[in-house]
Structure 1
Amino acid sequence: MKRVGLYFGTFNPIHVGHLIIANHMADYTELDEVWLIVTPQNPFKEKSSLLPDYQRLDLVRRAIEDNLKVRVSDVEFKLPKPSYTINTLAYLKEAHPSTKFSLIMGEDNLRSLHKWKNSEQILHDHTVYVYPRVLTIQEKEDLKPYRTNQLLANHPNIKKVDAPVMKLSASFIRNSIKAGHDVRYLLTEPVYKYVTEMNFYKK
């Protein structure tokens, strides 16, 4: 049975931090592939801040075009909005019955997993690969109530992965582009070229 890790995100835009995590999970764990699931609408984010869905999908395709272990998926484009992980997992399991799907998320998302729709079922049915994240002061404050959650700390379906830690966010890149800063080393060359040509995030 093929083992696939699902890495969800708006990827607005996809940057080297996303790619380092995705490649690390594909290369250093028992996963056979990592699929980048481009989210058309995250229930916790305002849609107005996003590039159009297919432009973000195109950016991800350009970013991973030469990586055989990392794929991109538009599966959530076909599902009801807003997108909920539990619905996407059910759809993928039916469409790919011979594939075992796992989740990939940062430790901040793990500690707020209780906010997700049907989170207990997700954790019961799927392995969750968790990578470390550098948190802001506010994020640390927001997550304080969940730091001693032993259910999450000791759950058999949670696997902590010692992946590289990068303090890099898509919002930082968007703000930097808008302010006229050089972000060429924060994006892959094809993504940087396309973002520049299309004048994305300058307004």
Structure 2
Amino acid sequence: MDTLPRKVGIFGGSFNPIHIGHLALANYLCEFGGLDAVWFLVTPQNPLKQHDDLLDDHCRLELARLATQGYEKFYVSDFEFHQPRPSYTVHTLQALKRAYPENEFHLIIGSDNWKVFNLWFNPQRLIAENKLIIYPRPGFDVNTEELPPQVRLVKAPLLDVSSTFIREGLRQGKDIRFFLPPAVYERIKQENWYL
């Protein structure tokens, strides 16, 4: 029996909505980046912040599940919905390790977030206790020689697609079906979300 821990990438975000950029990156990390699985952790709305264009938590969760169905290496989780608020990444990872001790978790962040990582809650502890995977974002280069040993940069393809672009396109009545998984596009159109 295989006793090695499963290497699971933790991809957190609002996924408002989830799109092909998210999926292509996660797919790359599973097939070329050494991960056994990627868990999409949909983050709940912060009750202290007003987000007029943030779709309801459970609707975004539903879209993420529609987007990832049929690929066994993807898993969509509402884990953070059940964490104390505000939910800090360092606490979420700690709780995940307690709940799923059989897994080795790797936090997935963009190079844009790495540039401001020192502003995160307890960044030193995050790095000391966890493995991080940085993926490239346009305009945010990373000096690999300055990375701590437990942080690695992957050469994932650059797909400069954002949820903001998707929402704007939908609001403008554009046919942007090829930026979204078909089931996600159909559900959004059916419910008139983001209009």
User: Structure 2-normalised TM-score?
Assistant: 0.91
C-alpha separation between the residues in 2 aligned to 1:46 and 1:164?
Answer: 33
Aligned pair partner of 1:36 in 25, 40, 63: 40
Partner of 1:19 in structure 2?
23
CA RMSD of aligned residues (A): 2.1
Flag the 1:62–1:199 CA change in 2: closer, same or farther, 3 A.
Answer: same
Indicate whether 1:173 and 2:166 are aligned: yes
Post-superposition Cα deviations, 1:19-71, rounded to whole Å, max 9, x if no partner, equal 00111111112211110000113699743331000000000000000111111
List gaps (5 residues or longer) in structure 1: none
Partner of 1:74 in structure 2?
78
Q: Which stretch of structure 1 is more off in the superposition, 189-198 or 42-51?
A: 42-51
Partner of 1:5 in structure 2?
9
List gaps (5 residues or longer) in structure 2: none
Flag the 1:175–1:34 CA change in 2: closer, same or farther, 3 A.
Answer: same
Q: CA deviation at 1:105?
A: 0.9
Q: CA deviation at 1:114?
A: 0.8
Q: CA deviation at 1:126?
A: 1.2
Runs of 4+ aligned structure 1 residues displaced above 4 Å come to: 42-46, 147-150
C-alpha separation between the residues in 1 aligned to 2:49 and 2:136?
Answer: 22
Indicate whether 1:56 and 2:49 are aligned: no
Which amino acid is the alignment partner of residue 97 of structure 1? P
C-alpha separation between the residues in 2 aligned to 1:116 and 1:44?
Answer: 17
Aligned pair partner of 1:95 in 96, 99, 116: 99
C-alpha separation between the residues in 1 aligned to 2:123 and 2:115?
Answer: 11
Question: Contact 1:10–1:42 at 8 Å: present in 2 too?
Answer: no
Aligned pair partner of 2:186 in 189, 193, 196: 193
Q: How many equivalent pairs are there?
A: 191
Partner of 1:164 in structure 2?
157
Question: Contact 1:41–1:82 at 8 Å: present in 2 too?
Answer: no
C-alpha separation between the residues in 1 aligned to 2:106 and 2:49?
Answer: 23
C-alpha separation between the residues in 2 aligned to 1:76 and 1:175?
Answer: 27
User: Structure 1-normalised TM-score?
Assistant: 0.88
Which amino acid is the alignment partner of residue 138 of structure 2? V
Which amino acid is the alignment partner of residue 125 of structure 1? E
